[in-house]
Structure 1
Amino acid sequence: MRRRAGAFCIRHARWHYGGEDEGVGHRASYRRAERRIAGALWQRGVALGTGEIELAAELLQVSDPTITDGATCASRLRAWYPEAVRLAEFLTEPWACRFFAARTIGSEPVVALIESSLAAVRDRGDTDLEHIRGAFRVIGREASMTAPRRARNRHMAIVHAGQVHAFVRKRMPRLRGTFLKHNDARGVEVP
């Protein structure tokens, strides 16, 4: 049995995860994160503790060059909670699941999707996320990555170096498995 709520108490505006009980800044972003957990993510079978949000927080930490390795899951989640929930919501949408489930496309398109999604979520670019949603498609056995003229920015660029690229390449089966665990990967139709 899973709780429908996340790590933040909306009523009391307090952080409640891993036995902690403390106030937070930017309460509005934490409230939005809780609504996403209780709404769209819950309907997809994603909850706090199923792995998707924790993996998203880990990806966000790897993408931040100022944070050193060695943070615990609880500290990563505390540092990146609103962004991690948004990233998990974005990467568990049906179109993203079709993209992750298409194993014939290789790892580079998946790395590009994750890197551009991380950049857009960190910059709080909902318009950029919409462009990314339209730019990454799976058609048959081929991946299509197009960038509309207005979306050609740093979020659409494929970065071939850096910590995120190496992290994603090394953990590709875990990433695909975690972001597809709420689905039956064999049942995801790849048009």
Structure 2
Amino acid sequence: MCTRCSAGQVVEVQRRAGAFCIRHRRWHYGGEEHDVRHRASYRRAERCIAGTLWRRGVALGTGEIELAAELLHVSDPMISEGATCANRLRAWYPEAVSLAEFLTEPWACQFLAARTIGSEPVVALIESSVAAVRDGGDTDLEHIRGAFRANGREASVTAPRRARDPYMTIVNAGRVRAFVRKRMPRLRGAFLKHNDARDTEVS
């Protein structure tokens, strides 16, 4: 809990909230507290955690958001490889929440769960999603929703409507691609483990 909310006491709570105190506009995670820039994006992330992600069974500490921050960290060659989980989360918090929300949507879970399609389409989905979230384009994310589809045991990956978009190029070697290939079971497990909770999601 933000120590301003708790009157200076160290208090741990389990609630529908993340690592940003909307009331005092401060970051509080891992025993550290800081003011942050771009507070509006952090507020949006908090509302997503308390709303959409909470209903899906996804929260700070269940693994999906932390993994999304790690994927975003890997995608940036200017950042040191040795950053801690707390540092990665603080640096990428709004984007990590957006990525976790995107990759836990029903269509994405259906695609990730289709093991008969092999690993490369999943690699392409995650790599494209990371790049699109980093660029901050809702239209780009919508293109990805249309390009990756699964129906039962069948799945399809279609060409993007805007071929010039580099993040939608399926054949594209990169840091994220190598990371995802090595950690496929962990990635699938993290983004699919909330599926039981989704059964109780309120529409």
TM more than 0.5:
yes
Find out whether 1:107 has 2:119 as its counterpart: yes
Q: Which residue does 1:75 correspond to in 2? A: 87
Deviation at 1:152, TM superposition (A): 5.2
Larger mean Cα displacement after TM superposition, 136-145 or 118-127: 136-145
Determine helix, strand or coil for the equivalent of 1:5: coil
Q: Which residue, 13, 17, 24 being the options, matches 2:25?
A: 13
Deviation at 1:146, TM superposition (A): 1.5
Matched-pair contact (CA < 8 Å) for 2:144–2:160:
no
Partners of 2:45 and 2:163 lie apart in 1 by 26
Determine helix, strand or coil for the equivalent of 1:4: coil
Matched-pair contact (CA < 8 Å) for 1:5–1:34:
yes
Find out whether 1:41 has 2:49 as its counterpart: no
Larger mean Cα displacement after TM superposition, 169-178 or 140-149: 140-149
**Cα deviations across residues 117-138 of structure 1 (Å, max 9, x unaligned)?**
0111000011110111111001
Partners of 2:123 and 2:28 lie apart in 1 by 33
Q: Percent identity?
A: 83
Deviation at 1:154, TM superposition (A): 1.6
Counterpart amino acid of residue 153 in structure 2 = R
Matched-pair contact (CA < 8 Å) for 2:29–2:86:
yes
C-alpha spacing 1:37/1:151, structure 2 compared with 1 (3 Å): farther
- The TM-score normalised by the length of structure 1 is 0.92
Q: Which residue, 63, 80, 86 being the options, matches 2:75?
A: 63
- The TM-score normalised by the length of structure 2 is 0.87
Deviation at 1:148, TM superposition (A): 4.5
How many residue pairs align between the two structures?
Answer: 186
Find out whether 1:166 has 2:175 as its counterpart: no
Counterpart amino acid of residue 55 in structure 2 = Q
Q: Which residue does 1:98 correspond to in 2? A: 110
Q: Which residue, 136, 139, 146 being the options, matches 1:134?
A: 146
Matched-pair contact (CA < 8 Å) for 1:115–1:159:
no
Counterpart amino acid of residue 139 in structure 1 = N
Find out whether 1:124 has 2:136 as its counterpart: yes
Deviation at 1:183, TM superposition (A): 1.1
Matched-pair contact (CA < 8 Å) for 2:74–2:176:
yes
C-alpha spacing 1:137/1:156, structure 2 compared with 1 (3 Å): same
Partners of 1:59 and 1:38 lie apart in 2 by 22
**Cα deviations across residues 44-89 of structure 1 (Å, max 9, x unaligned)?**
0000000000000000001101112111100000010000000000
Matched-pair contact (CA < 8 Å) for 2:149–2:155:
yes
Find out whether 1:149 has 2:126 as its counterpart: no
Partners of 2:149 and 2:158 lie apart in 1 by 8
Partners of 1:47 and 1:149 lie apart in 2 by 33
Structure 2 unmatched ranges of 5 or more: 1-12
Counterpart amino acid of residue 133 in structure 2 = V
Counterpart amino acid of residue 174 in structure 1 = R
Counterpart amino acid of residue 68 in structure 2 = A
- CA radius of gyration, larger in: 2
Counterpart amino acid of residue 143 in structure 1 = A
